[in-house]
Amino acid sequence: MISTFGKWASALAFLVMPAAVAAQSKNDMRRLIADNLDFAVQQYQVLQDSTPADRMPRTFQHGRSVTSDTEWWCSGFYPGTLWYLYEYSKDAKVKAEAERRLAILEREKRYTGNHDIGFMIFCSFGNAYRITGDKKYKDVVDTAAVYQITRYRPSIRSIQSWNKNKRLNCPVIIDNMMNLEQLLWVSQQGGDKRFADIAVTHANTTLQNHYRPDHSTFHIVDYDLEKGTVIQKVNGQGAHDTSAWSRGQAWGLYGWTIMYRFTRDQKYLEQARHVAKFILHHPNLPADKIPYWDYNAPQIPTSRDASAAAIAASALLELGQYVDKKEQQEYVTAAATMLRSLASPAYRAKLGENGGFILKNSVGHFLANGEVDVPLTYADYYFVEGLLRYKKWYL
């Protein structure tokens, strides 16, 4: 027969154990985050050494480093990651390298070749201003916003992503949602209200035209500029026109979360929650939560996309700030699984390898055999961002 004291002890143990498990989980995440950020600081010294002073890193494949000029859409991610790593480490050498890279990137503040000036400038100069408070960095972001809206097309109520080509008349891509952050931020920081108005208008058009009933998104919506109507909806980088390209779903999730952060408009929060549900409950999402390059790829298993996971993890951590505790737990638990998986040997490089990049196994453009199963700067950027967000908000 169990004594009264024994019953109370058993009950107390039952109550204490979940708290102990939660504390251990937090300790495990603290170690994982510190280990990976410390590793990233060291690894990016390798990346710095392998990247010419007038170029930006792009990837590492076939045993050699591949770099880009500053007009490449990814040019802001390397300096942006450096600023994140400086924020963590306070390492003066990391800051000096970030400043050197901004010096060659600044000329792109007037870039009008496509919509990606947000990726190029806000991820780099935006982080520099946030961390240092130096107004010269804000001035660059303010200028970039002026040139970004030159691509706004009133007839379609959207920012045109790419220029007209042989296949597309006026393409708008889901990725464009990411670059609205720059416009919203500049308006919020004392800039022209028109920037935010354009961002909201673009988001509303995307909400209307890009999404299917299951809350997956097309990659591209092509418009008739004269009529202001949709010509076609296609998946430029997806497996086929009815598939769910994994990085596109992650761009959308992150973009709707941004829109809610700045506007507090409930329809954007609801859309972010819908997209999160689509991603996290998709039957083809692997157990480690690192998606295949397309959720409907014709042959599964196939290449994983670490970049899609990194973007989604970072977005889920922010989305968790805006929902109730139960839903927050789902998002944070999923993001933690993604971060742990990315930090594992399956996806993270060893020190000195991988050309100095942190993560392996991302996919740029699978159908074109472009950058498949290789490191990519934006995968590293959102992985580091996700680690820092987890550390700031959930530990």
Q: Looking at the annotation, which residues are catalytic?
A: 116, 175
Chain-centre distance of CA 220, in angstroms? Answer: 18
Extended beta strands in 290-369, E state: 362-365
3-state class (DSSP) for residue 226:
coil
Classify residue 133 by burial, with Cβ atoms within 10 Å: 0-12, 13-18, 19+: exposed
CA distances from 335 to 208, 276, 289 (A): 28, 11, 9
Tokens of 259: 């829109």
**Run of H or E residues at 224:** strand 220-224
Question: How far, in Å, are 300, 337, 370 from residue 167 at the CA level?
Answer: 29, 39, 19
Tokens standing for 107? 């000329």
Contact 300, 355 (CB under 8 A): no
> What are the phi and psi torsion angles at 111 (to 5°)?
-70, 130
Q: Which amino acid is at 233?
A: K
Q: Which long-range contacts (CB under 8 A, 24 or more apart) does 315-320 make?
A: 315/250, 315/253, 315/254, 315/257, 315/272, 315/276, 316/253, 316/276, 317/386, 317/389, 317/390, 317/393, 317/394, 318/257, 318/261, 318/389, 319/253, 319/257, 319/272, 319/273, 319/276, 320/393, 320/394
